[in-house]
Amino acid sequence: MEAKAAPPTSKTQFETHPDRYRHWTLVVEGDMARLTMEVEPFAGQDDKIQLKSNSYDLSVDIELADAVQRLRFTHPEVKAVVVTSGHDRIFCAGANIYMLASSTHPFKVNFCKYTNETRLAIEEASAQSGQRYLAACNGATAGGGYELALACDQIVLVDDGSSTVALPEVPLLAVLPGTGGLTRVVDKRKVRRDLADAFSTLAEGVKGKRAVEWGLVDAVVPRSKFADGIAERARALAASAQELDRGPGIELPPLEPKMSDHAVEYRYVTLDVDLKSRTAHLIVRGPEAIPKNATEAHQRGAEAWGIRAARELDDALLRLRFEHEQVGMVLLQTEGDRERAYAAGELMSGPEWIFRETRFLWGRVLRRLDVTARSFFAVVDDKSCFAGPLFELLVAADRSYVLDAEGVAVRPGSLSGGALPGWNGLSRLQTRFLADPKRADAIVRAGKEGPIDAGRMGELGLATVLADEIDFEEELRVAVEERVSLSPDALTGMEASYRFAGPETLATKIFGRLSAWQNWIFIRPNATGETGALTLYGEPERPKFDWRRT
């Protein structure tokens, strides 16, 4: 049974600030931070749905994502982050079931995708920015709440005789844990397969010493000693954080794009949508100027092109996902001075913390593009500026259409050698040339020598189609029209399969495997049909299943 109505996504703001949080509190004291979740029940996206028991919707996760990013940019001095609840007996009940049951299928999938990206950002902050995370589960921890805890470096559960950790989605809702729980239990925590199987079918969950014995949590602590135990573990986590250059931090100001009926206009990014043709133009402009060094970059802060353009592109991609479900084809375009964009990328390769965090921000945004269910064609013409970090848009695209004319060129830089990896851990050039890894290195070397012109792009394998001025626009037009005429479901599956070439990682399992299964399960009658488990949750009727295994 399809949804009644999606949460009001047209009003969704993916930017926020700790001063405006309604569900989280962020407190920073020296090298320690505390993120406390206390969801305001009627302050979600749909104020008619009550977010009971610290259950969350997209608005709650938007605040969490903001906090994780702000800790990296504004508070780089933080070495340990405690994630806990403002309630005495509940840590988090996971995604709100009534919100999910009343949402459209595309919203369900995009919501799960966004929460997955947020938890992967937590893990990256730990691995790359020296900010270790501790889940202080001071009460029942279920579903997405346990998945949030799984993203942390350590999990401590209160031992009070009743608090459990649980992944109850399979027995209660006939769906899968949507935020990587199944994958992290066995791949990250390395829980035995048979125990993981039993755990994921126990709706009531596992508590106390058994949770420790099974490897589901790192420790249990009596409630009387919980606060002191968490403080001690947080100090130990901070002491174990790697030594890195750490700031001083910078503020992240609001982007404040200009909105119209069909376009979102930022300083460096434009998203222009044509609903009739179901296409969009996503244009990223290169820098007007670049800092001379890290000191000047720090003075410019988040207004510097490297940070600002990445944040704008991120916001545009999220708007594309949640607000433009009918758009299937996105033309990736760049504009600006190619040499300045190249120089910006070389500067971003520096060791200072502000460049490190700028690189990781670009990496997260590009990976957001990788798992966005749209077809992306890169358009390389005489206005293009595919250089430095913008070169990655070319190799992230499903295809590239290149105008064979004088002055048309691209220039990869040092960042394309592996500093901005995809979900598979490889650079996009390495993923592109799996059969010939040396070619990826050769392209990076060629970029260091100078621009790579259109003809050379064809020789190096950087152009899907190389067309002269007479044929270029027609070739592109026909390709776009053909693409949007195909089944969007088949295209989503095809693109995801090709974008995750190469080695499998925890992230590729989540996005290439879990997301695909969840996408299918969310439209099966056993979950969302009239008598499905998700549809009937909270009702006296029992679900009626189609017992055929497929």
Residue 515: per-residue pLDDT? 86
- pLDDT tens digits along 129-176: 999 999 999 999 999 999 999 999 999 999 999 999 999 999 999 999
- pLDDT tens digits along 71-103: 999 999 999 999 999 998 999 999 999 999 999
Q: Which amino acid is at 407?
A: G
What residue ranges define each of the domains in the chain, with the CATH number in brackets?
9-240 (3.90.226.10), 259-493 (3.90.226.10)
List, as one string, the DSSP characters of 491-547: HHHHHHHHHT-SS--HHHIIIIIIHHHHHHHTTSHHHHSTT-HHHHTTSSSPP----
Listed in sequence order, the DSSP H helices in 203-304 are: 208-213, 226-240, 294-300
* Residue range 28-52: mean pLDDT, rounded: 96
Measure the CA–CA gap between 400 and 391, rounded to whole angstroms.
12
Report whether pLDDT(51) > 90.
yes
The answer for residues whose C-beta is within 8 angstroms of residue 489's C-beta and 6 or more apart is none
pLDDT-based confidence at residue 514 (cuts at 50, 70, 90): confident
Question: Are the C-beta atoms of residues 17 and 74 closer than 8 Å to each other?
Answer: no
Residue 9: per-residue pLDDT? 41
Q: The whole model's pTM is what?
A: 0.95
Rounded to the nearest 10 degrees, the angle between the axes of helix 353-370 and helix 305-323 is 20
User: 236: which 2 tokens?
Assistant: 């130990």
The full length of the chain comes to: 550
- pLDDT tens digits along 346-386: 999 999 999 999 999 999 999 999 999 999 999 999 999 99
- Taking only Cα atoms into account, the Rg of the chain, rounded to an integer number of angstroms, comes to 24
Question: Are the C-beta atoms of residues 378 and 332 closer than 8 Å to each other?
Answer: yes
Average pLDDT of the chain is 95
Within 10 A of 209 (CB to CB), how many other CB atoms are there?
10
- pLDDT tens digits along 395-438: 999 999 999 999 999 999 999 999 999 999 999 999 999 999 99
Residue 247: per-residue pLDDT? 86
DSSP state of 243: P
Residue 439: per-residue pLDDT? 95
List, as one string, the DSSP characters of 175-225: S--SSSHHHIIIIIS---HHHHHHHTT-TT-EEHHHHHHTTS-SEEEEGGG
